[in-house]
Amino acid sequence: MDQILEIKGLRKYFPIAEGGFFKTAWVKAVDNISFSVQKGQTFALVGESGCGKTTTARIILLLDNPTAGIVLFCGKNIFGLNPGEIRQYRSSVQAVFQDPYSSLSPRLRVGAIISEPLRANRKHLTKAAIQEKVNEVLLQVGLDPEMATLFPHEFSGGQRQRIAIARSLVQQPSLIVLDEPVSALDISMQAQIMNLLKELQDRLKLSYLLIAHNLATVRYMSHAIGIMYLGKLVEKGASEAVFAKRLHPYTQALFSAALPTHPDLVQESPYMLGEVPSALNPPPGCRFHPRCSSAKPICSRVEPELKMIAPGHEVACLLC
């Protein structure tokens, strides 16, 4: 299967001035991660707050520069694009954010919000062509084109997220970064928006990079999954394989902390010790060792690399 996006050895270190002028420490928000998104599929990046998943998304969206590593989009490194190619890339790669209310201008009518990228980037389009495109994407997300004259505050949370999705579709992207797209919505709305995203993926052959911490959302939406901890990928593979057999102790703890999906099911007790350490001074060896109930003395000395445990299933643990 073809890859639409390939991330290789990506690092993002943020400098922090420490004491004297020449002394700089680094927050290693993303530290040498590699993964790929296949065409027409969803890759989910999962982990606790501060694990580096949103920083990764910001780099892919060209909102931050990486410290090292490359991002290939359709085989081309996005950090070597010329201004025209960057404009094209920004059209092809769109984003949908968590809070649809703050991501939509309250002063603009829905039609103006959705058509803004077209008016900025496709100046040759006539007013009628733009209106036709706006109507088309509103219908695609299940909204009446007549709603284009309303303001965002006149919609429910779920409808506002549909508007945000319509805006992301208007430039006919091939990849959409979904940053916690349903976590600000109530449960019934979450299901509707997830179904809509899946239906659009099938119909328009879209690829998604899903940033999420809700495992139910990830299980329902993703084809492949990467588990991040303190800037590192600790497990990755096909979603089915990871959900069937989670191997890394952090993945096991993360999954057991999730609420059961049925009232008769008993919640597993999470066995993660303590708090997430600071990315400013991550523990030596395996970064998870201070919290890992399976840790051995070697874990604080040797840093585990991702290794293939089964076809397409990789784990970074010295004991796996």
Interface residue list for ligand SF4 (CB under 6 A): 248-249, 286, 288-289, 292, 294-295, 299, 304, 317-319
CA–CA separation, 221 and 211 (whole Å): 11
CB of 296: closest distance to ligand SF4 in angstroms? Answer: 6
Closer residue to ligand SF4 in complex, CB, 298/310: 298
CB of 307: closest distance to ligand SF4 in angstroms? Answer: 11
CB of 72: closest distance to ligand SF4 in angstroms? Answer: 30
Tell me the CA end-to-end span of the chain in Å, nearest whole number. 28
Candidates 98, 70, 95, 5; CA nearest to 43 is: 5
CB of 10: closest distance to ligand SF4 in angstroms? Answer: 21
Closer residue to ligand SF4 in complex, CB, 84/297: 297
Closer residue to ligand SF4 in complex, CB, 138/286: 286
Closer residue to ligand SF4 in complex, CB, 182/292: 292
Closer residue to ligand SF4 in complex, CB, 162/248: 248
Closer residue to ligand SF4 in complex, CB, 186/305: 305
For the chain, list the strands marked E by DSSP. 3-17, 24-38, 42-46, 68-73, 76-77, 93-96, 175-179, 207-212, 224-229, 232-238, 307-310, 313-315
- Tokens matching residue 244: 């069937």
CB of 250: closest distance to ligand SF4 in angstroms? Answer: 6
CB of 220: closest distance to ligand SF4 in angstroms? Answer: 27
Q: What does the DSSP assignment read for 156-200?
A: -HHHHHHHHHHHHHTT--SEEEEESTTTTS-HHHHHHHHHHHHHH
Q: Are 171 and 143 in contact (CB under 8 A)?
A: no
CA–CA separation, 108 and 138 (whole Å): 16
What's the half-sphere exposure (Cβ side, CA atoms, 13 Å) at 209?
Answer: 27
In three-state secondary structure terms, 271 is coil
